[in-house]
Amino acid sequence: MDFSGSNAIYLQIADYICESILQKKWKEDDRIPSVREMAVSMEVNPNTVIRTFNYLQEKGIVYNKRGMGYYISENGYKLTLELKKQGFLQEEMPRIVKIMKLTGITIADIEKYYNQTT
């Protein structure tokens, strides 16, 4: 995985896991790769992956079965969707609205553009 941007690496790994959940690659009660497996595949320190899993566990997205690994929680999809929506509204949307205001782009302009490209 290529890490870039201003977000901490553990949050970028969390984004990867969340995207996998939203794409339904991992479903409720599916076991996700272990800390060691994830660290090797992502080429990061296992402590970084542990931090990611702790973060997602605090959000209720994953849970730990002692000695067995981490699993997607029963409401994992719903909680992931809500987390990503909130992140978009708080982080991305203000920047988009600012650009729209500065350039005079309207919702109608966006609709027209997307109707032409699809």
Average pLDDT over residues 29-57: 97
Please check whether residue 87 lies inside any domain of the structure: yes
Cα(70)–Cα(80) distance, integer angstroms:
15
* Band (117; pLDDT cuts 50, 70, 90): confident
Question: Residue 31 CB: number of other CB atoms within 10 A?
Answer: 13
Burial of 112 (0-12, 13-18, 19+ CB in 10 A): exposed
Q: Is residue 4 part of a domain?
A: no
Looking at the structure of the chain, the number of domains it has is 1
Whether residue 17 is contained in a domain is answered as yes
2 domain-assigned: no
pLDDT category at 47 given cuts 50, 70, 90 is: very high
Confidence at residue 34, expressed as pLDDT on a 0 to 100 scale: 95
The dihedral built from the CA positions of residue 84, 86, 89 and 91, taken in this order, carries a sign that is negative
> Can you give the CATH number for the domain in which 53 is found?
1.10.10.10
Q: Model-level pTM?
A: 0.84
Across residues 63-68, what is the average pLDDT? 94
Task: Tell me whether residue 3 is in a domain.
Answer: no
Task: Evaluate whether residue 51 is within a structural domain.
Answer: yes
Q: Which domain holds residue 74?
A: 9-117
- Model pLDDT, residue 3: 86
